[in-house]
Chains A and B, each alone.
Chain A
Amino acid sequence: MEPKTESTVREDVPERPRGYVVGSAPDSIEREIGHDEFDPVGTLVLILGYFAILVVMWVFMYFVEFLGRGLTVVG
């Protein structure tokens, strides 16, 4: 359900629903994490996953495009 106006939400309801106004995510912070406590291990996992996909695709390219056909450029 959309509110009648955003101002009624912001002024009359102290606890706004999560993500109600565009860009309102910070209101639902559960714990402050500073620079020293933050360990971006999830980022590492995603980037390693991306690299793994790249390797698989390069291998795919190699088999399909190079071994499946003759050389494109000779000389």
Chain B
Amino acid sequence: MATFVDRYPEEASVVKATLVVSFLSLGIGALFGLVQALHRTGYLRFLDSVDYYTILTGHGVLLALVFTIFFLMGLFTWAVVQSLERPLPDIRLSWAWVGLTTTGATFAAVAILAGLIPSIDMSADVLYTFYAPLMAHPLFYVGLAMFIVGTWLAGADWFLAYREWRAENPDERIPLQTFMVLTTMLMWYLATLGVAVSTVFFLIPWSFGWVETVNPLLTRTLFWFFGHPVVYFWLMPAYLMWYTVLPKLAGGRLFSDPLARVVFVLFLLLSTPVGIHHQYLDPGIAEGFKFIAMTNTMFLLLPSLLTAFTVVASMEHGARQRGGEGYVSWLGSLPWRDPAFTGMALAGVMFAAGGFSGMINAGMNINYLIHNTLWVPGHFHLTVGTAVALTMMAGSYWLVPQLTGKRLYSRPIGLLQVVVWFVGMVLMSNAMHRGGLAGIPRRTAEPQYQNFDFSMALGTVGEIRAGIAIGGTLLFVSVVLFLVNILLSAFEEPIENPVDDSLPEPLSGASGSPVVLDNLRLWTAIAVVLVILAYTLPLAGIVGDAGLLGDVPGVPVWVSANAEATLDLLTEVIA
């Protein structure tokens, strides 16, 4: 029985290339995470605190953007090819977007990492949220622009494959995995308009010095126009695996194909008109617009709850087919020794916990309690840091053998790895959430104030620090185990059946569901209208207040090289 690499060797090479970049970024980003955890908690400090922000930016950009999106590009390529059962239309186009995204990501990474070398006058310590007034070296923004255009080309590649398939299958329902890829990419095209406009029209000319000022609130709002939907861009590959792969790993079948389609359509409609919920505390945006963003955000709970039901029901189906009984004891019949299954299931558990803290973040009033505190990184380490990252790593144990024709080096190491990640994240994110409730700030190397004690409702600050340091260390160990396992798998001999890669039909298939679900033009049009409704007036207000280019000079962040000039500039801005 041939696996993916035997049927589509060229596409398998494309997927492997994206996964190599993804895993390399994961390794560097995880190392930076360890350095941060130990520095911030005071357990091990070998860097200057100024360099903490270089490490923080590298951690955020390499993990949240490069690791996740390169994995997505590989997974989506695999999903489109294998669900349409046809090769990509032109492999040169595929290699073009691999090259463009890789070059762009490399430029951005070089600009960030150069901040650690004082002799190079280049830095990009703008954190993952790269908006004004913090200014990075132009290479960072140029790299980002190339990266975004590369993702657009990747989407074009998948749409072209779909078009060819549609020409030959005019009356068929879109295969589920391709449907998921296309709806996600439509959401991505819409969402990246914000960051593309911000980067190309404002940040690049500003960093080159072609314009003196930009409007910080405008670049901030355009960033969050993209900055929240990008969360779903990370999450959708995890959902794709939860819906289409996890039921199979559990020994069952997807409970409902139509429900899965509804969920992806809802994400297309609702992902983008919510970004202002990241700006509840920003002056310059009227309360009413923030309230609308909050309402839209609460609607996003619906697809997540539908997913909880459908995915858990699919797992239960597998457990009961394997002899599971009772209300809860069927959980024991699931294949917990399979690292791919266990990793994804634990990722789902953590996502449920992240759902709670997400509701707190989304609530306009209660958000004030935790805004800019350690709670927020605690939240997104449950969502992107576990639901997404752990699903991607666990899914790799099942996916990579299909791309190489080689067995996984060690299933027990894989199992240990996903459990260590889970334990590490329980320690770290629990500590972060509770630290946030006590008011411990985020995004700082020095959270200790003079003559000030954080009052803890439960536990102590020392215990919080220990939780973060131990948790962060376990997470790094987990990444090392993952990378070693995947690397050693590459040296295995090719075998005939490296993995069980068949995907069973859903219990309830697409044929009985409304055809309108597959009408991508309709859903895109509604999504565009919703974005126009949510953003036109706030953006008009922001531009009306301070103009397109505003009046705030930039704060170049290569501080170590330009310390004096920066200090003068900061004094000027504050005065």
Q: Report chain A residues within 8 Å CB of B157.
A: none
Q: Report chain B residues within 8 Å CB of A50.
A: 308, 352
Bound-state CA distance A64–B459 (Å) is 13
Bound-state CA distance A27–B366 (Å) is 49
Contact of B411 among A22, A25, A33, A57 (CB under 8 A): A22
Q: Does B530 contact A (CB under 8 A)?
A: no
Would A72 and B356 count as touching, CB distance under 8 A?
A: no
Least Cβ–Cβ distance between B19 and chain A, in angstroms: 16
Would A30 and B322 count as touching, CB distance under 8 A?
A: yes
Among B213-221, B292-300, B493-501, the one that faces the other chain is B493-501
Would A30 and B323 count as touching, CB distance under 8 A?
A: yes
**A23 with B411: in contact, given A10-B496, A40-B316, A50-B352 (CB under 8 Å)?**
no
Would A65 and B398 count as touching, CB distance under 8 A?
A: no
Would B323 and A6 count as touching, CB distance under 8 A?
A: no
Would B437 and A21 count as touching, CB distance under 8 A?
A: no
Would B313 and A43 count as touching, CB distance under 8 A?
A: yes
Least Cβ–Cβ distance between B417 and chain A, in angstroms: 13
Q: Does B136 contact A (CB under 8 A)?
A: no
Would B497 and A6 count as touching, CB distance under 8 A?
A: yes
Q: Report chain B residues within 8 Å CB of A29.
A: 251, 321-322
Least Cβ–Cβ distance between B513 and chain A, in angstroms: 14
Bound-state CA distance A23–B494 (Å) is 18
Would B500 and A18 count as touching, CB distance under 8 A?
A: no
Would B499 and A68 count as touching, CB distance under 8 A?
A: no
Q: Does B78 contact A (CB under 8 A)?
A: no
Least Cβ–Cβ distance between A5 and chain B, in angstroms: 5
Contact of B508 among A24, A31, A35, A68 (CB under 8 A): A35
Interface residues of A (CB under 8 A from B): 2, 5-7, 10-11, 18-35, 38, 40-43, 45-47, 50, 53-54, 57, 61, 64-65, 68, 72-73
| Extra pairs beyond A22-B338, A42-B326 (12, CB < 8 Å) | A18-B335, A20-B411, A22-B401, A23-B398, A24-B338, A25-B248, A25-B322, A28-B322, A34-B507, A47-B309, A50-B308, A54-B356
Q: Which 4 A-B pairs have the closest CB atoms?
A: A25-B251, A40-B313, A23-B500, A43-B313
